[in-house]
Structure 1
Amino acid sequence: MKSHLKVHYFQHIAGEGFGSCYQFLKQHHAKISATEFFALPVDRPLDIEALPHVEDVDLLIIMGGTMSVNDEANYPWLKVEKRWLRRYLSMGKPAIGLCLGGQLIANALGAAVRRNEKQELGWTGVRKVNHVPEACFELPAQFNVMQWHSETFEIPKGAIHLAENDVCRNQMYQIGKNVLGFQFHPEITPETLKLFLENDEELINFSGEYVQSEQQLKKSPKTNFIQGNQILNQAIEYVLQKTAC
């Protein structure tokens, strides 16, 4: 990882911060900046030129959010964000999308995002897809991670499907060697989970056999967070190293 790495992240809701990778990147002396879409004035359209110049970003991390990527009428900045993403990705630069972020990358590249048949909220198992090419990002055969979604992405054209489970088939994908899209939340920490629970007004809209209660989530042991955090750190190193090659 190069010194003085310029990392930019897109944040869509107030209660969903940078998560576990903040400390990891700070250990590598990264310079971290953010675009907080939730804080933008609602009465003034977002100009794409107000976003960072793509040349000034070494790594982009796109966080989650409660909105749908399809809800451009209520969140007009989504259209601008997707335009910027296409510009950034066309240059072959490294990017990681987490939950809504993974959906945004997929949708910006023409893949559909739709309602998943079942909602997922809580700790669930995910498995590596069989017969993934050897050069791709390496995942454990089975791992447990935090889920928090009602929608799912289609795998973008030209991308490689990396992970799945029985509830939501498309859990992770890779584009080239510089882009990784996650449906789950590998960045979650005890602190960010607390923020999720305090700020997510959509919690009451989740139900079903794959939805854990607020009480269950509050009792999450600290060991639950480790594997996802490690996967995300490895993902950051992967997209940076492969882009530098």
Structure 2
Amino acid sequence: MKHLKVHYFQHIAGEGFGSCSTYLKSIGAQLSATEFFALPLDRPLEIEALPNIDEVDLLIIMGGTMSVNDEANFPWLKIEKRWLRRYLASGKPAIGLCLGGQMIATALGANVSRNPEQELGWTTVYKSAAVSKEHFQMPEEIEVMQWHSESFEIPKGGVRLAENAVCANQMYQIGKNVLGFQFHPEITPEVLDAFIENEEQEKVFQGTYVQSLATLKKSKAEQFYAGNQLLKHAIEYVLQAQGSSQTWSQLKIQKEC
């Protein structure tokens, strides 16, 4: 049986893939990554250097500290968006996490701009009233890890799945194959430690909706579980909904064989 080929776009060193990696390895997926953070900024990136779209079954776009609009300082952003438009036009499954959700949105023509308030830490998001039985099913409310100062508009044709009072657009769906998150469902204790180490150097722990460094360091193991499960279900959803050659049940069989 053909293995599921999952490709990651990674934007910062040390972030890793969070809970995505453990789950996808458990179902026998083959993982590969483009590490944009390792690319030299003084050398142009050719779009041909990115993966062949035909060889990617699922794309997961990770977070990052840069803005999607900062092409002057990170010139590879323009090429990443061009490749994304090609990939999304193919109708294949894609999941965007924080910056990743913003990248999908901006690649499809939606604006990404400064949110009125920075969100950093554990917050609750709520299922949007726009969600019907035809959409990915969110819990009525869920505690998640936020780490953003910008937010996306919902791309044309998309549906808002989750929201809160601080940031109206917390999650969206496009068709049956694309899910964009403003928050970090993939967060694990190890990834949170990397986030804290990176942000501690920049001293960004200030704001009405920013939790203190001391509070974040006391995060309990069970706080990570709900988001990790949500991401697992999101992966299953975009694969099954697209009529993937490997449904969730088939992947389980592959693991057991």
Report sequence identity in percent: 70
Instruction: Name the structure 1 match of 2:132.
Output: 133
Paired amino acid for 2:182? Q
* C-alpha distance in structure 2 between counterparts of 1:203 and 1:170, whole Å: 26
* C-alpha distance in structure 2 between counterparts of 1:3 and 1:237, whole Å: 17
* C-alpha distance in structure 2 between counterparts of 1:7 and 1:239, whole Å: 12
Paired amino acid for 1:139? M
Q: In structure 1, the residue corresponding to 2:203 is in which secondary structure? A: helix
* C-alpha distance in structure 2 between counterparts of 1:76 and 1:201, whole Å: 26
Paired amino acid for 2:179? L
Instruction: Name the structure 2 match of 1:146.
Output: 145
Instruction: Name the structure 1 match of 2:48.
Output: 49
Instruction: Name the structure 2 match of 1:200.
Output: 199
Paired amino acid for 2:12? I
1:161-200 to structure 2, matched below 5 A, reads 161-200=160-199
Moved more, 40-49 or 235-244: 40-49
Could you tell me how far 1:206 is from its partner in structure 2? 4.3
Instruction: Name the structure 1 match of 2:102.
Output: 103
Could you tell me how far 1:35 is from its partner in structure 2? 0.2
* C-alpha distance in structure 1 between counterparts of 2:197 and 2:183, whole Å: 19
Could you tell me how far 1:44 is from its partner in structure 2? 1.1
CA contact (8 A) 1:111 1:153 kept: yes
Instruction: Name the structure 1 match of 2:224.
Output: 225
Instruction: Name the structure 1 match of 2:87.
Output: 88
TM-score normalised by L of structure 2: 0.92
CA contact (8 A) 2:7 2:31 kept: yes
CA contact (8 A) 1:15 1:200 kept: no
Could you tell me how far 1:201 is from its partner in structure 2? 5.5
* C-alpha distance in structure 2 between counterparts of 1:23 and 1:85, whole Å: 25
Q: In structure 2, the residue corresponding to 1:200 is in which secondary structure? A: helix
What value does the CA root-mean-square deviation take over the aligned residues?
A: 1.2
Could you tell me how far 1:120 is from its partner in structure 2? 0.3
Long gaps (5+) in structure 2:
245-257
TM-score normalised by L of structure 1: 0.97
Could you tell me how far 1:203 is from its partner in structure 2? 4.7
* C-alpha distance in structure 1 between counterparts of 2:147 and 2:205, whole Å: 9
* C-alpha distance in structure 2 between counterparts of 1:43 and 1:74, whole Å: 10
Paired amino acid for 2:5? K
Could you tell me how far 1:131 is from its partner in structure 2? 3.6
* C-alpha distance in structure 2 between counterparts of 1:203 and 1:127, whole Å: 30
Given the superposition, is the C-alpha separation of residues 243 and 41 from structure 1 closer, same or farther in structure 2, using an over 3 Å criterion?
Answer: same
* C-alpha distance in structure 2 between counterparts of 1:140 and 1:133, whole Å: 12
Paired amino acid for 1:189? T
Could you tell me how far 1:202 is from its partner in structure 2? 6.5
| 2:74 is aligned with 1:75 | yes
Deviation by residue 1:28-58 (Cα, 9 ceiling, x = unmatched): 1100000000001222110000000111000
Paired amino acid for 1:236? I
| 2:33 is aligned with 1:34 | yes
| 2:164 is aligned with 1:156 | no
CA contact (8 A) 1:106 1:155 kept: yes
Q: In structure 2, the residue corresponding to 1:161 is in which secondary structure? A: strand
CA contact (8 A) 1:94 1:179 kept: yes
Aligned residues: 244
Deviation by residue 1:93-125 (Cα, 9 ceiling, x = unmatched): 000000000000000000000000000000000
* C-alpha distance in structure 2 between counterparts of 1:3 and 1:130, whole Å: 39
